[in-house]
């Protein structure tokens, strides 16, 4: 007889609204626990006005390099980034969105699109040490499950997004890529338990983000987003970064000899070539290159101090 796989436990992301938001956010930041703040951005001009057409009217001539013709997958990291990047203007991208193309302007600093900077207000939530505010605009996008190095206030401005989160302790159950420890190989909505059996033991928290909602995502917290056919979001990255030691802890907990071998390979290639860029879609440098860059930065700092 075949045993039925039930799958991961799915819960709801904790929610708060109204006058309780400030106190709840401070507590969740202190404990590094996610929190959905319903309607926290509802009064922003961005939430009231923004659409792809509006963004095109304001910043239509700006040149960007979005991903277009994206595959229908919950794990985009299995594809090469360069196969989907195409230079165009914001106006051309907004036109492309209307055709039904699965496409994404991702990780673009908001200052690159002049005229939009005054339409939102993350500072009212008192995030310390804001690193950047990033705009994401696309059609039917899937981010893939991953974690970031800093805390994030993620605001849904236009359209909706399904958010699925997992605690940092779920690492092994999320089957990270051996050469990219911040990215998961699992499809959170439609998992393949034969390929990723440990995912059936994971505990996930999820919610549908509506316009005006802000989601606090602690650094190191795994997260996945699936958008509606038209979506605009803003991410406010803030606070201290995960220490280098954290990445080594992740590697140890992966218990993957292949991961260590690929780290050594990419670290060496980076040292020899002066830079070794991976090709995974939506991905930062591989683990090996990232640690090489961190090591070089630390050594350079010590030389300057000396």
User: Token pair for residue 193?
Assistant: 């338990």
* Mean pLDDT value across residues 228-254: 94
Domains and CATH numbers, the chain: 9-238 (2.60.120.650), 244-305 (no CATH)
* Cα angle, residue 99 at apex, residues 97 and 100 outer, rounded to 5°: 75
The set of residues, in sequence order, having a beta carbon less than 8 Å from that of 194 and lying 6+ positions away, is none
pLDDT > 70: percent of the chain = 94
* Mean pLDDT score across all residues of the chain: 93
pTM for the model: 0.93
The set of residues, in sequence order, having a beta carbon less than 8 Å from that of 9 and lying 6+ positions away, is 202, 203, 204
How does residue 161 score in pLDDT terms, banded at 50, 70 and 90? very high
* Mean pLDDT value across residues 148-160: 97
Q: Residue 304 pLDDT > 60, yes or no?
A: no
Q: What pLDDT shows up at residue 270?
A: 85
Q: Residue 124 pLDDT > 80, yes or no?
A: yes
Q: What pLDDT shows up at residue 280?
A: 83
pLDDT tens-digit map of 13-72: 999 999 999 999 999 999 999 999 999 999 999 999 999 999 999 999 999 999 999 999
Q: What pLDDT shows up at residue 117?
A: 95
pLDDT tens-digit map of 261-282: 999 999 998 888 765 565 788 8
Q: What pLDDT shows up at residue 303?
A: 53
* Mean pLDDT value across residues 231-236: 98
pLDDT tens-digit map of 16-31: 999 999 999 999 999 9
Q: In what order do the strands lie in the sheet with 103-109?
A: 15-17, 35-38, 214-217, 151-158, 231-238, 130-139, 103-109
* Cα angle, residue 190 at apex, residues 207 and 135 outer, rounded to 5°: 50
User: Token pair for residue 216?
Assistant: 């606090």
Q: What pLDDT shows up at residue 275?
A: 59
pLDDT > 90: percent of the chain = 82
């Amino acid at each position: 007889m075949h045993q039925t796989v039930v799958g991961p436990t799915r819960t709801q992301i904790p929610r708060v609204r109204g006058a309780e938001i400030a106190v709840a956010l401070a507590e969740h930041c202190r404990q590094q626990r996610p929190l959905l703040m319903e309607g926290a951005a509802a009064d922003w001009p961005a939430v009231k006005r923004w659409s792809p057409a509006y963004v095109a009217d304001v910043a239509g001539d700006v040149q960007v390099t979005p991903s277009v013709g994206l595959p229908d997958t919950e794990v985009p990291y299995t594809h090469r980034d360069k196969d989907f990047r195409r230079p165009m203007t914001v106006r051309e991208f907004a036109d492309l969105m209307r055709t039904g193309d699965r496409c994404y302007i991702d990780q673009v600093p908001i200052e690159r699109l002049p005229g939009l900077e005054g339409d939102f207000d993350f500072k009212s939530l008192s995030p310390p040490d804001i690193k950047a505010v990033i705009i994401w605009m696309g059609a039917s996008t899937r981010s893939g499950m991953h974690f970031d190095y800093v805390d994030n206030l993620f605001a849904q401005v236009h359209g909706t997004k399904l958010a699925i989160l997992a605690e940092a302790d779920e690492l092994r159950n999320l089957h990270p890529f051996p050469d990219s420890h911040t990215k998961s190989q699992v499809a959170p909505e439609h998992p393949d338990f034969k390929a990723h059996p440990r995912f059936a033991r994971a505990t996930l928290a999820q919610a549908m983000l509506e316009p005006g909602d802000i989601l606090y995502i602690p650094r190191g917290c795994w997260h996945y987003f699936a958008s509606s056919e038209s979506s605009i979001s803003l991410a406010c990255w803030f606070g201290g970064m995960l220490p280098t030691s954290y990445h080594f802890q992740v590697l140890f907990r992966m218990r993957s000899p292949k991961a260590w071998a690929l780290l050594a390979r990419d670290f060496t290639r980076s040292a020899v070539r002066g830079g070794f860029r991976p090709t995974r879609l939506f991905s930062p440098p591989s683990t090996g290159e990232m640690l090489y860059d961190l090591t070089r930065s630390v050594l350079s700092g010590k030389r300057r101090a000396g």
